[in-house]
Structure 1
Amino acid sequence: MNLLKVFDAVMEERSVLRASQKVALTQSAVSHSLARLREMLEDELFVRTATGMQPTARALTMAPQVREALRTLEAAVELPTFVPATSTKQFTLAANDFTTMVLASPLLKLLGREAPSIDLTIKPVTRIDLAEQIDLGRIDVAIGVFSVPPSRFRTSLLFEYDDVLIVGG
């Protein structure tokens, strides 16, 4: 695939130097990649001229298919873009009663304004392992008190509060 990326860059730029910058390789690495492709395909693919690298007939024929194949592969491995305004995704949030009481109203107002078609389910936090539930895809977000959250998760402090005990004399 890397050889095809180099081919596509040289085809577009018509310059080994500009192609190397585009694919973040050295000129030497691009030249070596072209040499490997030339050997594999038994065609020069590009001919150096005063005006740049000119593609051969074979290169011109295969270029559109290579570009489309690369786009298809990139789309397959690229994470989809999340657009809140148009998303219809369902999210499951796990939170305790206190957190739900404090955050639910402002969160629902925000979602109504920014992501009106999102469906939100709030589940109570129980004795379940929240990290495992996220790993299994059963919940998307966990809000609660964590001594040390696993490093594989992104975390954010939402708020701090102090518990206060009041008793009569």
Structure 2
Amino acid sequence: MNVAVIGAGAVGAAVAYRLASSGARVTVFEAAERLGAGTSGRSFAWLNSNEKTPRVYHDLNVAGMRAHAELRSEFDSLPWLHAGGSVEWFSGEAERVAQRSRVERLQGWGYAAEWITPALLHELEPDIDLATVDDAPVAYFPEEGWLDPVPYVHAMLRAAQMHGAQVRVGASVEHVHVAGGRV
């Protein structure tokens, strides 16, 4: 199978890697002159699903989080992946009520969400001034993290190239011609 992947951001690079590692002949076209110059290079890339609804969207995000974690079995190291979870607290009562409801919903869905003490918060994030937390309940989402998108894109494309993919940088796609059911 011959496949053209248009765009070498985080999604395109991941698609190229998966297709090439599955035996497809892949050519990636990236219009920019350098990888990571578009949306992927401007993203914080927070890996989470703690505010995602409806449930199917939440599950899709959880599957993405799991897929990133599973890359550990395919790569020697994942310098672009930063695990460690995330924490949040709110000062306003309305926000606290919404947070409680959300954490309960997430726990019911089997998502890792828990309440932690100020002492554990300080252990996880020693630079947080606990005075700013005051008496707020602190939610902790231990399976969340963030991705450094530009190194991720480079790693995925290098891995795709190791499986024979071609990457063309500075090559924009102006038109896709379809004839006889083929592109």
Structure with a larger share of its residues in helix: 1
Which has the higher Rg, Structure 1 or Structure 2? 1
* TM-score interval (norm. to shorter): under 0.3
Bigger relative contact order, structure 1 or 2, given CA contacts below 8 A and separation 6+?
A: 2
TM-score by length of 1: 0.26
- What TM-score do you get using the length of structure 2 for normalisation? 0.24
